[in-house]
Structure 1
Amino acid sequence: MMTVTRYLPLIAAITALQAGAATIVDETVQRPEGARHYLLAQPATPVAGKLPLVILLHGHAASANLTFGKGKIDDPAAAWLAVADREGLLVIAPDGAKGSDDKQGWNDCRADAPTNPKTDDVGFIAAMIDQAVAQHNADPSRVYLSGASNGGGMVYRAAIEMGPRLAAVAVSSMLMPTKNLCAAPKRALPVLVAHGTEDKIAPYAGGEVGHFLLTGRGSGLSAEDSVKYWRELAQLPSTPTITKLPHRDASDKTALVRYVWGSDPKGTQVEFLKMENAGHVQPSITHNLSWLVQAVLGKQNGDVEFADETWAFFKDKRAAP
């Protein structure tokens, strides 16, 4: 009789291929509320030395599985699996906790979002970082967070409360809170923000977050004021470098304009990726949302892979000693 052991190398190879050239493993970390789950993607080919760590925080009602493309929606965040293998990264996709609406999410800084969970999610992020450093050779000076929607709000909270541990952060489709339960940040960080001008869930002009089926989600500043908040904290000049990105498809009625404050890619930069005519969704070349999803979330731009844009912003930045 054949043994399972004989087939382990083949099984591992198939798993790596299915994961988009990265190997995914299930991990847990113990927290006061119990065991918290996350997925860890590692390069399929072993990498010498310490590895950069990117943590991806999903939106409200989503999951770690969805983040890594294991769901009904082709989430653009799944592009990070290819980046992990190509660049030699560790990428973590954690599961949020359930709030009062029984949907997974994050305890971000919105004081007027009663459906948020009450868990210590900053502590959860810190524990995942500690575990990755201790068990997977993560580089503590190269820890990066990226989040979408409610996950982006959690990135803002982490940037405020654990800034010294982070090298850079990225937020898509989320606003800084109008009613803030977090203290003001004391340390500037490199921040990338992407937001669609036709976002109906986190409105570009600011205001109530949600829609007629999604209530109790709080309110936020405008997208531009959210960017200004971090630009002024970093004491960067008010005039950015502006680049209109090349358009790939004439039928795509969206467009991308990149604004960058700060000229040193190793320094404290702030980038704003303005997604003209786009909705509550990250841009992607390879992970295209269905027409039905776009009917709910808004149009998706196809000019860049947001994972690549984000990694280009992250890769030269290090946490301040």
Structure 2
Amino acid sequence: MRAGTTQNQVVVVPPAVARGQHTRTYLVHTPAHYTSHAPVPVIIVFHGHGGTSSNAERETGFSQLADKEHFMAVYPQGLPDDQQLPMWASIGPYDYNIDETVFMNNMLDKLTNDFCIDSQRIYATGFSNGGGMSGFVACQLSTRIAAVAPIAGNYYPLQAGCHPRRPIPMLEIHGSADPVVPYNGIPAKVNPPWPLPAVQDWLHEWAQRNGCTQGPEIFARDKNSTGFRWTGCRQDASILHYRIEGGAHSIPAAIGNLSTEQVIWNFFKLHSLSGPIS
């Protein structure tokens, strides 16, 4: 199979919202056989705390899958924290007065200008702090992001609350034995002032936002994972969750018989900003 190409991109941002930085960077993988005349869907992949955009491309299979399934994979780069570890801000203790919404909007504007993308089919996924960032864009950019798939995310409550302007389809993946972002959360008395909700409590809140009337119900189960779903949601914006039984703080190689990235893409391709895709 012919391979696509990956290139580094730069977008200008106001220094006041980026710790004095004038530019932000991201990698773009254009799929094999991409042309400037046929719009392609986009998957944004957020790295974890201490990671990089190049690591995210190398350690996930999204660029290879992009060549097979014909979508664009985009890997944004976070800014350094006080220990010089790249991270995604605007989330809990990672705030740092950085407005990631500005970066995301500017990046999406530039992608739209530079490439032929399907603006109805832009999706976001990420691991750990990048999973938290996926939840953040679901709240903040619901009119631009069609669906999200966070993995082992740190879902800190947002200070301004979460008020999406449309139902957001979501697929969440989390290890039941995650020692970094515990499946059952961290209460406020243990981690003040930044408690972490239990994963299913956080998903239940999303099910309420989406107006889901049924669930959670188990729809899939094997020795390694259990699949839960909330259905009866407005605009068919269902909530799916795979609990990786005994799973640690990592991206599982596979769920059932499919790679994790294939499971995520199979979920994404059912949804657009306008609603479900038949």
Classify the TM-score, shorter chain.
Answer: 0.7 to 0.9
1:124-163 alignment, distance < 5 Å: 124-163=103-142
Within the candidate set 298, 304, 314, 2:268 is matched to: 314
Q: Quick one: which amino acid aligns to residue 243 of structure 2?
A: K
Structure 1 residues 277 and 182: alpha-carbon distance in aligned structure 2, compared to 1, 3 A threshold: same
Asked if structure 2 preserves the Cα contact closer than 8 Å seen for 1:100 and 1:116, the reply is: no
For 1:163-182, list aligned pairs within 5 A: 163-178=142-157, 180-182=158-160
State yes or no: 1:204 paired with 2:180: no
186 and 44 in structure 1: CA distance in 2 versus 1, 3 angstrom threshold? closer
Higher Rg of the two aligned structures: 1
* Alignment match, 1:53: 42
**Whole-Å Cα distance in 1 between the matches of residues 201 and 257 of structure 2?**
25
Q: Hey, what does 1:184 align to over in structure 2?
A: 162
1:284-303 pair list within 5 angstroms: 284-285=253-254
Q: Contact 1:41–1:90 (CA<8 Å) still a contact in 2?
A: yes
Question: Match of 1:289?
Answer: none
Q: Secondary structure in 2 aligned to 1:126? A: helix
Q: Distance in 1 between matches of 2:76 and 2:192?
A: 23
Q: Which residue of 2 aligns with 1:228?
A: 204
Instruction: For residue 143 of structure 2, give the secondary structure of its aligned residue in structure 1.
Output: helix
Unmatched 5+ stretches in structure 1: 1-15, 70-74, 210-214, 248-254, 286-300
Secondary structure of 1:226's aligned partner = helix
Q: Secondary structure at the match of 1:101?
A: coil
Contact kept, 8 Å, 1:99 with 1:118, in 2: the verdict is no
Amino acid at match of 1:64: S
| Residue in structure 2 matched with residue 109 of structure 1 by the alignment | 91
2:253 partner amino acid: S
Residue 182 (structure 1) shift: 2.8
The alignment status of 1:39 with 2:27, answered yes or no, reads yes
Deviations 1:261-316 (A, max 9, x none): 2279x83111111111001111114xxxxxxxxxxxxxxx7854111111111102
Instruction: Pick closer, same or farther for the CA change 1:262–1:238 going to 2, 3 Å.
Output: closer
Q: Does 1:305 align with 2:274?
A: no
Letter in 2 for 1:109: I
TM-score, structure 1 length as denominator? 0.76
Query: Which aligned segments of 4 or more residues in structure 1 are displaced greater than 6 angstroms?
Result: none
Which residue, out of 165, 180, 193, partners 2:172? 193
Shift of 1:104: 0.5
CA contact (8 A) 2:129 2:154 kept: no
Change (3 A) 1:303 1:206: farther
> C-alpha separation between the residues in 2 aligned to 1:109 and 1:82?
30
The answer as to whether partners of 1:55 and 1:91 remain within 8 angstroms in 2 is yes
% identical aligned pairs: 23
Q: CA deviation at 1:148?
A: 1.1
Q: How many residues align?
A: 265
Residues 100-148 of structure 1 deviation map (CA, whole Å, 9 limit, x = unaligned) = 22110011331xx1x5443221111111111111111111111101111
Residue 68 to residue 302, structure 1, CA distance change in 2 (3 Å): farther
How far the C-alpha of 1:246 sits from its partner, in A, is: 4.9
Q: Distance in 2 between matches of 1:220 and 1:227?
A: 13
What's the C-alpha RMSD, in Å, of the aligned pairs? 2.6
Query: Contact between 1:143 and 1:168, CA under 8 Å: does it hold in 2?
Result: yes
Report the AA paired with residue 276 of structure 1.
E
Q: Offset at 1:35?
A: 1.4
1:171 to 1:108, Cα distance in 2 relative to 1, 3 A: farther
Q: Hey, which of these two has a bigger chunk of strand by percent? A: 2
Q: Decide whether the 8 Å contact of 1:57 with 1:151 is kept in 2.
A: yes
In 1, the alpha carbon distance for the partners of 2:196 and 2:48 equals: 16
User: What SS does the aligned partner of 2:68 have?
Assistant: helix
Residues 198 and 67 (structure 1 numbering): CA distance in 2 closer, same or farther, change over 3 Å?
same
SS of 1:119's equivalent in the other structure is coil
Is contact 2:215-2:231 (8 Å) kept? no
- Where structure 2 has 5 or more consecutive residues not aligned to the other structure, the ranges are 15-20
